[in-house]
């Protein structure tokens, strides 16, 4: 049985004439806000999941019985992205949605009830379509009926406790028992998306299978788990796209790193060295994962992209690795024939140390690197920028 500790709502009705303290007043307002905020976030996450499951269902149905399916063939998802032209509805999402539907047929009953009970006539579906939705299965991909019930979590429990960002981490797992393991542990331990990804990548399921006392292994890990909080849900890329928001629309005003990036953008443009601003918080998709580069410029003198990452922290090896990944992505996916190799600039800062690094690793042409360094800002200039910002 899955158990999860939930805070009490502590919502109450105040009767006329009741006497309560200022402390009670502040507590009531805080609890009311938190309760309704959590309910709103859960509702958004559920609807994102419903939408994505339905998208997968529609795609599979078209592949199986669409009257003009032969016309699109293997280019179906690309054609859909071009035709729909809505941010977030792209080939990457369609691919995930398709597999989501095939791996989670049990959600059909929940979605069917939702559509049937909808008061919006444009959203509701006929009883015939609802029945088909509950019974349609692709035998090649769905779990055999003899084990489907055994290894499927109750859809309401699944949808109420895991966001689609969580489910997306589990979808690539083909073994239904292994998927069930991560669903249950993710709910019991209230894992963040990053923590769930870490446990999958470190083979927790396999390690539990080899352990004589798997319960003890889970218990020993609990103290180190990174748990989900309300901000994790709000700031998920799926939420941004579903609501038509941009990442920066919900960044707190007090976010120091954001303020630094704001000033850095102005600083580089004011240097007049050929920087042409191209993107802020540029989203990069690698293996169906979302990453965001702080600033992207195109340098009109060097004829190359310049990716800038600023960390409000001292240098860590993973920062340069992350930046080099962005540089490699631009080299492989964005760079044009007339462009030179992209370059990355990493700036790390705190009150005790400063560090400026050019990500020129892998460039074997010394003269080429020298040309880059000649045209890019001097390290001393960047160091002065960092010091002036943190004082």
181-210, pLDDT tens digit by residue? Answer: 999 888 888 888 888 888 888 888 888 887
* Domain assignment of residue 134, given as a range: 22-243
Q: CA geometry: angle at 62 spanning 59 and 65, to 5°?
A: 150
Last residue of one domain, picked from the residues 243, 275, 296: 243
Last residue of one domain, picked from the residues 206, 224, 243: 243
> In Å, how far from its chain's centre is CA 378?
35
Cβ atoms of 349 and 386 within 8 Å: the answer is yes
CATH number, domain of 297, equals: 3.40.1350.10
- Of the chain, the percentage scoring pLDDT greater than 70 comes to 66
In a domain, 303, yes or no: yes
Q: CA geometry: angle at 296 spanning 290 and 297, to 5°?
A: 160
Q: What pLDDT does 28 receive? A: 82
> How far is it, in rounded angstroms, from Cα 387 to Cα 270?
18
Are residues 276 and 346 located together in one domain of the fold?
A: yes
Are residues 304 and 235 located together in one domain of the fold?
A: no
Total count of domains within the chain: 2
Q: What pLDDT does 99 receive? A: 93
Both tokens assigned to 98: 């398709």
Averaged pLDDT for residues 237-259:
53
Cβ atoms of 227 and 195 within 8 Å: the answer is yes
In a domain, 2, yes or no: no
Are residues 129 and 256 located together in one domain of the fold?
A: no
Both tokens assigned to 24: 């009670």
> Which pLDDT tens digit goes with each residue over 100-147?
999 998 888 888 877 776 544 455 444 444 455 555 443 333 333 434
Lowest model confidence (mean pLDDT) among 13-17, 98-102, 246-250, 380-384: 246-250
Q: What pLDDT does 85 receive? A: 83
Are residues 225 and 263 located together in one domain of the fold?
A: no
Whether the pLDDT of residue 251 is over 70: the answer is no
Both tokens assigned to 54: 């339905």
Cβ atoms of 286 and 324 within 8 Å: the answer is no
Last residue of one domain, picked from the residues 217, 243, 269: 243
Are residues 297 and 236 located together in one domain of the fold?
A: no
> How far is it, in rounded angstroms, from Cα 335 to Cα 339?
6
């Amino acid at each position: 049985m899955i158990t999860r500790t939930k805070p009490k709502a502590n919502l109450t009705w105040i009767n006329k004439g009741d006497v309560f303290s200022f402390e009670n007043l502040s507590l009531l307002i805080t609890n009311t806000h938190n309760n309704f905020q959590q309910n709103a976030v859960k509702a958004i996450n559920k609807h994102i999941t419903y939408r994505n499951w339905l998208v997968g269902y529609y795609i599979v149905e078209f592949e199986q019985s669409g009257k003009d399916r032969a016309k699109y063939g293997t280019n179906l998802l690309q054609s859909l992205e071009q035709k729909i032209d809505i941010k977030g509805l792209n080939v990457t999402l369609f691919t995930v949605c398709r597999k989501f539907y095939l791996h989670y047929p049990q959600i059909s009953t929940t979605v069917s009830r939702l559509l049937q009970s909808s008061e919006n006539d444009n959203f509701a579906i006929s009883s015939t379509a609802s029945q088909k939705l509950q019974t349609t299965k692709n035998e090649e991909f769905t779990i055999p009926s003899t084990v489907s019930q055994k290894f499927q979590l109750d859809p309401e429990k699944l949808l109420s406790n895991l966001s689609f960002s969580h489910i997306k981490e589990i979808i690539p797992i083909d073994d239904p028992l292994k998927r069930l393991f991560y669903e249950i542990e993710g709910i019991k331990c209230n894992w963040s998306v990053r923590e769930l990804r870490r446990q999958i990548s470190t083979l927790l399921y396999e390690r539990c299978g080899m352990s004589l006392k798997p319960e003890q292994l889970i218990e020993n890990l609990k103290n180190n788990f990174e748990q989900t909080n309300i901000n994790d849900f709000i700031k998920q890329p799926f939420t941004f796209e579903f609501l038509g928001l941009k990442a920066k629309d919900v960044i707190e005003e007090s976010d120091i790193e954001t303020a630094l990036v704001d000033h850095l953008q102005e600083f580089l443009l004011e240097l007049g060295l050929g920087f042409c601003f191209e993107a802020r918080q540029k989203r990069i998709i690698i293996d169906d994962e979302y990453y965001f580069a702080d600033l992207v410029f195109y340098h009109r003198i060097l004829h190359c992209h310049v990716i800038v990452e600023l960390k409000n922290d001292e240098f860590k090896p993973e920062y340069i690795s992350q930046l080099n990944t962005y540089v490699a992505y631009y080299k492989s996916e964005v760079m044009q024939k007339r462009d030179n190799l992209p370059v990355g600039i990493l700036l790390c800062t705190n009150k005790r140390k400063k560090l400026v690094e050019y990500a020129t690793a892998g460039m074997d042409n010394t003269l080429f690197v020298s040309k880059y360094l000649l045209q890019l800002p001097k390290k001393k200039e960047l160091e002065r920028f960092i010091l002036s910002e943190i004082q």
